[in-house]
Amino acid sequence: MKPYASVLDWPILFLKRRTHLTVLANHRFTLEQDKLRSAPRTCARFRYTTRMTTLCIMTALAAESRVFIDAYKLRHLPIRGLRLYGSEYCLLLQTGVGKLKAAAATAALLQVRPDISCIVNAGIAGGTDQIGSVYLAHRVQDRATGMSWYPHLPLQRQVPDLATIEVQTMDKPCSTYHQGILFDMESSGIFSAASVYLSTDAMQCVKVISDNSDQSMSAVNSANCTQLMNHTVPVITQLQQWHAAKQTDNEFLAGIDTAVNALVTRVHHTTNDTLQLRRLLQQLTSVTKTVPSTVDLIELSSAKLIKQQLQEALKNAPLTYGQND
């Protein structure tokens, strides 16, 4: 099968031009690269890419989502069972309240959209500081299970004047506040599901304080929730720019491209297989600081076996975080 390029304005493309189109399992249309390159009128009208750097914002409530839908001019995307909105390089998933719904929605989306290269959980949380204070999580913990995740944070100069904090996910609303900790109900579910698909440098959590000991959660409504979420938009934009800059690093991408090309040339990969292969190679390179060797992988007989070996290597790779990371 030939590699395909994503075309986001597929309804217009489908109506305007009769070409070789294929419908994927996630209901997006794709177009063969050689056909697209041989059609200059189509190229002039539609942008296409073989390397996608899609960021997905994940919220729980409609009041949290509305800010980003307006700020990034997102439109509804019809994927059954998911409240999904998107533009060319940004998606928003409204998961619903609670860590179980958040985990289920996150896993479902990342399974059908392997082009997603980074997720950011954004929402309100309870804490001890002033209402409207925005924080970036350096640790996400599930209070019930004790499991923790440590996002790989950007350099301070890339998100200036933004403090970091621990976020704990509760099974039900909490009215007891502790210094240095924020409480929410979705983050651990999102991180638990996303960690199967993404590395820690591609998962972030941004929270704005909505309630504290002086103003209880009962005072939070849709209007002031949306107003509070406005404070998070500049932070999300900075994180998006940071992630895009990482993804466009020439040396990093050149090594990934070489590895992908070597593997898909020798071993049959579908379009979805190729996207998953690229993502796994990106994760391993991010963790180990080197592009994995393809010498042994080429000898494997199927894309499935290559995927399994890379997943095992990623599982066993040591995680470190320090001043030079």
pLDDT at 155: 66
Per-residue pLDDT tens digits for 165-174? 899 999 888 8
Q: Is there a single domain that holds both residue 211 and residue 264?
A: no
Whether the per-residue pLDDT at 207 is higher than 90: the answer is yes
- 321 inside domain: no
Whether the per-residue pLDDT at 131 is higher than 50: the answer is yes
Which of 232, 247, 262 corresponds to the end of one domain?
A: 247
Q: Is there a single domain that holds both residue 197 and residue 159?
A: yes
State the Cα–Cα distance between residues 95 and 112, nearest whole angstrom.
15
Rounded mean pLDDT of the chain?
78
Q: Is there a single domain that holds both residue 192 and residue 284?
A: no
Q: Is there a single domain that holds both residue 144 and residue 23?
A: no
Q: Is there a single domain that holds both residue 164 and residue 181?
A: yes
Per-residue pLDDT tens digits for 268-301? 899 888 888 888 887 787 777 778 888 888 888 8
Q: Is there a single domain that holds both residue 254 and residue 240?
A: no
Q: Is there a single domain that holds both residue 136 and residue 271?
A: no
Whether the per-residue pLDDT at 216 is higher than 60: the answer is yes
Residues 155-164, mean pLDDT to the nearest whole number: 69
Q: Which of 18-32, 99-113, 212-226, 230-244 has the lowest mean pLDDT?
A: 18-32
- 323 inside domain: no
Whether the per-residue pLDDT at 106 is higher than 90: the answer is yes
Whether the per-residue pLDDT at 178 is higher than 80: the answer is yes
- 324 inside domain: no
**11: Cα within 13 Å, side-chain hemisphere:** 2
pLDDT at 282: 79
End-to-end CA separation in angstroms for the chain: 38
Q: Is there a single domain that holds both residue 168 and residue 295?
A: no
Q: Is there a single domain that holds both residue 142 and residue 273?
A: no
Q: Is there a single domain that holds both residue 255 and residue 233?
A: no
Q: Which of 231-235, 251-255, 272-276, 289-293 shows the highest mean pLDDT?
A: 231-235
Give me the CATH number covering residue 218.
3.40.50.1580
pLDDT at 197: 86
Whether the per-residue pLDDT at 225 is higher than 50: the answer is yes
Split at pLDDT 50, 70, 90, the class of 202 is confident
In DSSP notation, 76-137 reads: EE--TT-EEEE-SSEEEEE--SSHHHHHHHHHHHHHH-TTEEEEEEEEEEE-SS-TT-EEEE
Residues 86-93, mean pLDDT to the nearest whole number: 87
- 99 inside domain: yes
Residues 33-42, mean pLDDT to the nearest whole number: 47
- 322 inside domain: no
pLDDT at 300: 87
Q: What's the pTM value of the predicted model, to 2 decimals?
A: 0.64
Domain hosting residue 115, numbered range: 54-247
Q: Is there a single domain that holds both residue 296 and residue 163?
A: no
Q: How many domains, the chain?
A: 3
Whether the per-residue pLDDT at 203 is higher than 50: the answer is yes
